Amino acid sequence: MTTKTKSKDTAVTQVSISAPEFAIAEFALTGNTPYVQLRFGEKAKAQMREKMMAGSQARKGKQREARDFDEDYENALYLSEDGWYGIPASSFRQAAISACRLVGFKMTLAKLSLFVIADGFDAIDGTPMIRIEGIPKPVEHAVINATGVADLRIRGMWVNWSAKVRMKYDTAQFSPSDISNLMSRVGLQVGIGEGRPDSKKSAGMGWGQFEATPISIR
């Protein structure tokens, strides 16, 4: 409890702050539509770094290298230190925060109240991840870059997939039924990955949708 006194003639203001109480809800996710993944590859980062270091001489006399599509596919996937494929845990957290808009709950509060417990970490950059079950395959799509130039993107697609997600939530903000309904909305209305319904740059491709079945909420 915090007590503030402005002056002798001002009433005392008391602020009561309760201790944080969090619970964990675990869900079994079953994909209704394919999950599509595209990470920013290490080779692309290295090329950007090289170009930035070269400065104004970056393009001078430099030939364009042949593109290795197999390498593009490998770079598109998140792989854990233990060898399993994963979905960035932040995908589910961001999707849950975004879904709060549907029910009028402040996203600024959701940022402080919803967290995802990772199953492991990416072997390259340590990204916290949720393990995905299923077999990915490479898919090729024509896209228009931000510069307006047409390009080909090689992505990883899981046609049939499943996962288990543990959501840590503030019980002062959400009840067990709230968090269960929120995850259902995430799966049906927001989605995860490339081409999801809640894509920031388009209406999506209908990918990344799922059913969320509660396993335990405590």
More confident residue, 208 or 51: 208
pLDDT above 60: residue 55: no
How many other C-beta atoms can be found within 10 angstroms of the C-beta atom of residue 97?
A: 22
27-44 mean pLDDT = 83
pLDDT above 70: residue 72: yes
Fold of 22-36+78-217: Alpha-Beta Plaits (3.30.70)
Q: What is the pTM of this model?
A: 0.81
**Which runs of consecutive H residues, i.e. helices, occur in 85-142?**
89-99, 107-111
Residue 188: band (very low, low, confident or very high) from pLDDT cuts 50, 70, 90: very high
How big is the CA angle at 98 (ends 22 and 118), to the nearest 5 degrees?
A: 50
Q: Which of 183, 11, 14 is nearest to 99 (CA)?
A: 183
Domain ranges of the chain: 22-36+78-217, 40-75
Quote the percentage of the chain above a pLDDT of 90.
63
More confident residue, 44 or 158: 158
The pLDDT assigned to 119 comes to: 98
